[in-house]
Structure 1
Amino acid sequence: METSVFLAVMAAAALHAGWNALLKIGLDRFLTACLIQIAAGAVALCTLPFVAFPQAAAWPWIALSALLHIGYNSFLARAYQYGDLGQVYPISRGSSPLLVALLSVTLLADSLTAGQWLGLLTLVAGIWLMALRGSQRAAALNAPMLFSALMTACFIAGYTLSDAVGARHNQDALSYSMWLFTVSGMVMALVVAATRGPRAFLRLGPHWKGGLAGGALSLAAYSIVIWAMTQAPVALVSALRESSVLFALLIGSLWLKESLPAIRLLACGLILFGMLVMKLA
C-alpha cells in the first residue's frame, strides 16, 4: 500500500474515533446515529454545486448503500440494548474486515498476499482481544448482543463493498461520496419520521451543534475511506480503518483519564503490528 493512502486512512480512523467520542449527547443510540447521518447529509448537500453529477452506473450502488445504512443503524442500536460500548464496538467493527476480505477477493478483482492476510488477521485479533478482555473485568457475552453486533458487521461489510464498487464505477470518489451522504441523509430523515414520528425532530433540535460537528467529521472520515478504496484493495482499507479503536483508546486515556490495563496494551501491540505488516507486505 502506498504511503499516501496509508496515512490518509489513518487520518480517517482518527476522525472516526473523534466523532464517536464527541457524541455523548443524551439521545438514544438510534436517534444519535440518525442525527449524525442527517447532519452529514446536510453538509454534503452544500457541496453538490461544486462536484460532478454521478455517472449512471454509480446510482444503484448509492441507493443500495443508503438502504444498507438503515440496517446498520438499526442493528447497532439493538446491540447497545444488550451490551456496552466496550464490547459492541470492537466486535462489530473488528468482524467486518474479515467479511470484506473474504467477499472482496471472491467478488471483486482484489487480491491479497500472504503477508497482507497475516497483517489483517493480526489486526482483527487485537480488536477482538480488546473486546473480550480489554476492560477491568470481562463481561459475559450474551446471544442477543452477539447476534446484533455480528449483523451490524454484516451491514458494515455490505455498504463498504457497495461503496467501493460504486466509487470505482463512478471514477470520481469525491462526487460519489457527496451524493451518497446527501441521499443517505434524506433516507434517514424519512426513516426517523416513519418510525418515531415528526415530533422526533424536536428531540434532535437541541443537539444540532454536536450533530453538525459529528456529521462533518463522519463525512470527512468516510469520504477519505471511499477514495482510498479506489486506490488500494478494499480489504486493506477496511481493516486499517478499524484502527480507530486505537485512537478511541488514546482519547479515553488522555481526556477521560481511563486506565490502560496490560491486556489492552497487548491488544494495541497486536493492532499496531498488524498495521505495520499490511503497510510493508
Structure 2
Amino acid sequence: MDFTVIVVVLLAAFLHAFWNFQVRGSDDKALGIGAIMIGHLPLAIAGLLFVGLPPVSSWPYLLGSAVFHLGYQVFLMNAYRHGELTQIYPIARGVAPLLITLVSMLVIKSDFSQQQLVGITMVSGGIILHGIFQFHRTQTPLTGLALALITGCFIAGYSLVDGHGTRHAGSALSFYGMVTIINGVVFMVYLRLFYPGVLSRISTEGRKILLIGGNLSYIAYVLVLWACLSAPIAVVSALRETSVIFALLLGTMLLKEKLTAMKIVVTIIILAGVITLRLA
C-alpha cells in the first residue's frame, strides 16, 4: 500500500483523536454533535466555492450519505445514554471496518489480499477488544453494547457510500462539502424537533467544540475520503480507526492516565495490523 496514503490517513486519525480529546468534557451529546455538524459548514462552503459542486452522477450517493450519517448521529447519542465514550466508541468504530470488508467482498465483489484481510482484522480486533474490556470492567448493561453495534453498522454504511461517492465525484472537497451541507441542515431540523433549545446554546456553551471539533473533524474526514480515491475503502477505514491509539497516548501523556497492560496489548495488536497493511 502506498506510504503517502497511510501517512495521510494516520494524520486524519490523529486529528480525529485530538479534537475528541480537546472537547471530551461535553456532557450534552446533542449539543456536542450539533456543534460539530455546524462547525463543518464554513470549511465545506469554502471548499465548494473553490472546487465547485459535485456532478449529478454522485447525487444518489449524497442522499444515501445523509440517511446513514443521520442514523449514525441519532444512534450514537442514544448509545451514550447507556454507556461511556470509552465503551461505546471503540465497539462502534472497531466493528465498522469488518462490516465494510464483508459487504465489499460479498456485494461489491471487491478483492482483498490475504495480508489486507489479516491487517484489517488485527486493527478492528484490537479496537473491539479495548471496548469489550471497558464494558466488562464496568458491567454496563447490554443495551449500550447493542446500540454501539448498530452505530457501527451506520458507520460502515456511510463510509462505503461516501467512499464510492467521492470516486464518482472525483473530488473529496466537492463531494464531502455537499454532504456536509445536507447533513448540517437535516441534523439542525432533527435537533429543532427533538432537542428544543440546543441550537441556541451552541454558539455559547458549544463554542469550543464548534471551533476546534468542527474544523478538525471536517479536515480529518476530507483526508480520509481523499485516500479512498486510490485505496480500498475497507483498508482506509481500518487505518482511520487507529485514532483509538492516539486517544490512548494523549490520555497517558497529557492526562497522566495509567498505562495498563490491556492498553499495551491493544496498542501492539493495532500497530501490528497497520504494519501488515503497509506491507500488503
TM-score tier by shorter-chain length is: over 0.9
Unaligned runs of 5+ in 2: none
Deviation at 1:27, TM superposition (A): 4.5
1:201 to 188, 199, 202: 199
The 10-residue stretch of structure 1 (16-25 or 146-155) with the greater mean CA deviation from structure 2: 16-25
Equivalent position of 2:160 in the other structure: 161
**Letter of the aligned partner of 2:59 in structure 1?**
W
CA-to-aligned-CA distance 1:171-222 (integer Å, 9 cap, x gap): 222211222112211221121112223x322221212243122111011000
Distance 1:249 1:269 in 2: 12
Equivalent positions of 1:116-131 (< 5 A) are 116-131=116-131
Equivalent position of 1:264 in the other structure: 263
CA-to-aligned-CA distance 1:240-265 (integer Å, 9 cap, x gap): 10000000011101111101111210
Equivalent position of 2:180 in the other structure: 181
Query: Closer, same or farther in 2 for the Cα pair 1:262/1:209, shift >3 Å?
Result: closer
Deviation at 1:223, TM superposition (A): 0.5
SS in 1 for 2:138: coil
**Letter of the aligned partner of 1:201 in structure 2?**
L
Equivalent position of 1:104 in the other structure: 104
Instruction: State whether residues 12 and 224 of structure 1, in contact with CA within 8 Å, keep that contact through their aligned partners in structure 2.
Output: yes
Instruction: State whether residues 42 and 185 of structure 1, in contact with CA within 8 Å, keep that contact through their aligned partners in structure 2.
Output: no
2:52 is the counterpart of 1:43: no
Equivalent position of 1:252 in the other structure: 251
Deviation at 1:141, TM superposition (A): 4.5
**Letter of the aligned partner of 1:96 in structure 2?**
A
SS in 2 for 1:24: coil
Instruction: State whether residues 121 and 274 of structure 1, in contact with CA within 8 Å, keep that contact through their aligned partners in structure 2.
Output: yes
Instruction: State whether residues 25 and 210 of structure 1, in contact with CA within 8 Å, keep that contact through their aligned partners in structure 2.
Output: no
CA-to-aligned-CA distance 1:41-76 (integer Å, 9 cap, x gap): 233123321112110011111121122111111111
Deviating beyond 4 angstroms after TM superposition, the runs of 4 or more aligned structure 1 residues are: none
Distance 2:269 2:140 in 1: 22
Distance 1:224 1:159 in 2: 15
**Letter of the aligned partner of 1:189 in structure 2?**
M
Give the TM-score of the pair, scaled to structure 2: 0.95
**Letter of the aligned partner of 1:203 in structure 2?**
R
Equivalent position of 1:91 in the other structure: 91
Instruction: State whether residues 93 and 241 of structure 2, in contact with CA within 8 Å, keep that contact through their aligned partners in structure 1.
Output: yes
Distance 1:134 1:11 in 2: 26
Query: Closer, same or farther in 2 for the Cα pair 1:176/1:129, shift >3 Å?
Result: same
Instruction: State whether residues 82 and 140 of structure 2, in contact with CA within 8 Å, keep that contact through their aligned partners in structure 1.
Output: no
Query: Closer, same or farther in 2 for the Cα pair 1:142/1:217, shift >3 Å?
Result: same
Identity %: 38
Aligned-CA RMSD value? 1.6
Number of residue pairs the alignment of both structures matches: 279
Give the TM-score of the pair, scaled to structure 1: 0.94
The 10-residue stretch of structure 1 (61-70 or 256-265) with the greater mean CA deviation from structure 2: 61-70
SS in 1 for 2:80: helix
The 10-residue stretch of structure 1 (106-115 or 256-265) with the greater mean CA deviation from structure 2: 106-115
Distance 2:49 2:123 in 1: 40
CA-to-aligned-CA distance 1:7-62 (integer Å, 9 cap, x gap): 11000000110111122354511221121011112331233211121100111111
SS in 2 for 1:138: helix
**Letter of the aligned partner of 1:123 in structure 2?**
V
